[in-house]
Structure 1
Amino acid sequence: MTAYYPLEIEFEFNGLKQSIWPVILQDESDVILIDCGYPDFLPLLENAALRHSIQLETVTKIILTHDDMDHTGSAAALKRKYPHLEIYAFESEAPYIEGTKKSLRLAQAEATLNRLAGEEKSSAEQFIRFLESIEHVPVDRTLNDNDILPWCGGVQVIHTPGHTPGHISLYLPSEQTLIAADAVVIEDGRLEIANPGYCLDLKEAVRSVQKLLDYEISRLICYHGGIFQGDAKKALQQLVRDYETMEERP
């Protein structure tokens, strides 16, 4: 038996209603959680899993697709509560998750301070303090591009840099399902690059979308936006064309 469950989690952040979509994969021997939300999200994760009749304590592994506060924020708390969990991440992203290297998102935020003043600067300083508060967690196993993980009939690791250098997406060949993480997001029913203003390398992010076209995708799950409704491959092609057109403009 192989199953996957997108977990819709709705919440408020900075006064705005938002939602994220971690995913649980399940087979006869393992339950794998892909990403885990902001800090203090354990109750939300537990409730979301229970809606699919899954106890969070049965999760055996966590895959962190990249080092961002809304993907890794509860990882340390999960490991503390469920010490049997094994944590996986891409090889080059692991040092940021573990805290042996300074968070690139934190460095990006700090670099903006000199250009800001007044309320904008105050908000940026508050954001930096929040990033500094994110608890780090050791990574038990590192991943590489094209690794095939031995769960659910095989889960392929796809290195999709751009949003962060070590960002990964995951592909389930048996289901023709792509778990995109932040490689793309859904906005107003359309696929878009995830938050271009925070994308550490936009051109690389577009190349990663182009890379995803090599896969047969019947279902596409985005961390922001959930399950894409429509022809995923056609939508990915259109997104690449849109950015190519932008680059061609004088």
Structure 2
Amino acid sequence: MNYCLLDIEFEHNGQQQIITPTLLQDEYDKILIDCGYPNFTGLIEQAVNKYDVTLDSITKLIVTHHDIDHVGSLAAIKWAYPHIQIIAYEMEVPYIEGNKKVIRLEQAESTFNELPEEAKSYVQQFMDTLKAVETVRVDQAVKNGEILPWCGGIEIIHTPGHVPGHISLYLPSSKTLIAGDVVVIEQGKLGIANPQFADDLDEAIRSVRRLLDYDIEQIICYHGGLFQGDVRQALQQLVQEYTT
């Protein structure tokens, strides 16, 4: 099994940004982890092409959570390539399938009336964008601690806080953690993803602490790319920042 980082550069709200979905592959499967904003199918295709892979050859797509920058192109990819199995944590299924209002929309709606007038048009546009994300049926719901048998084994770690159903993926064969948004890299250090928007910041810190139970040599962050070095010390330092 090997993993490939799919660094995707784009402009968002007038700023250059990068996200890093992950591609896992072995002789049987090619598995995509997360898939960017709406209309990112072409960018995902270009990114996997760099590794001599086509979207048509992807067998499975695992979603770490339902935020728009992780699932925005999920329905479009499934529509274009219906053979791809969509896999998500059991708590996330109602959001992805459209049976529950997404958390970022709930957050925006709950604070909208208190916003200054000059901010309301931007937030309204954000809410409209969230409402327009196409829903899609999940083919397989997974549980905490479940080990998926592909690509040398993929352990599901429930890492709530950013949103309640957030998961990270542990690859024991390479001692690699695919973090999703449980941690990000900022100025070379591990940090909490948008702590001001975390559904439960205390829970997010507990999730980081939970990662110390794993033998991790590198972390793939959706925002920040690959983190190597003394991972354990970096995780401990992050926990201390928020608990001292």
Q: TM-score range by the shorter chain?
A: over 0.9
Say whether the 8 Å CA contact 1:189–1:229 is kept in structure 2.
no
1:18 is matched with 17
Q: Percent identity?
A: 58
Q: CA deviation at 1:217?
A: 0.7
Distance 1:55 1:96 in 2: 28
| Count of aligned positions | 244
Say whether the 8 Å CA contact 2:97–2:135 is kept in structure 1.
yes
2:217 is matched with 218
1:115 is matched with 114
Structure 1 residues 145-164: Cα deviation after superposition (integer angstroms, max 9, x where no partner): 00000111111000000000
2:169 is matched with 170
2:78 is matched with 79
2:180 is matched with 181
Q: Could you tell me which amino acid in structure 2 is paired with residue 34 of structure 1?
A: I
Counterpart mapping for 1:229-240 below 5 A: 229-240=228-239
| TM score, norm. by length of structure 2 | 0.99
Q: CA deviation at 1:33?
A: 0.3
1:198 is matched with 197
Distance 1:186 1:230 in 2: 13
Q: Could you tell me which amino acid in structure 1 is paired with residue 64 of structure 2?
A: T
- 3-state SS of the aligned residue for 1:12? strand
Distance 2:143 2:232 in 1: 24
Q: Could you tell me which amino acid in structure 1 is paired with residue 131 of structure 2?
A: E
Distance 2:231 2:11 in 1: 29
Q: CA deviation at 1:7?
A: 0.4
Say whether the 8 Å CA contact 1:161–1:168 is kept in structure 2.
yes
Distance 1:81 1:171 in 2: 29
Distance 2:125 2:231 in 1: 37
Q: CA deviation at 1:229?
A: 3.6
Q: CA deviation at 1:122?
A: 1.4
Q: CA deviation at 1:105?
A: 1.2
Say whether the 8 Å CA contact 1:179–1:222 is kept in structure 2.
yes
Q: CA deviation at 1:114?
A: 1.4
Say whether the 8 Å CA contact 1:186–1:192 is kept in structure 2.
yes
| TM score, norm. by length of structure 1 | 0.96
Counterpart mapping for 1:31-70 below 5 A: 31-70=30-69
Distance 2:156 2:126 in 1: 31
- 3-state SS of the aligned residue for 2:10? strand
Structure 1 alignment gaps of length 5 or more: 246-250
- 3-state SS of the aligned residue for 1:89? strand
Say whether the 8 Å CA contact 1:36–1:71 is kept in structure 2.
yes
Q: CA deviation at 1:112?
A: 1.2
Distance 1:196 1:134 in 2: 24
Structure 2 alignment gaps of length 5 or more: none
Say whether the 8 Å CA contact 2:147–2:156 is kept in structure 1.
yes
1:96 is matched with 95
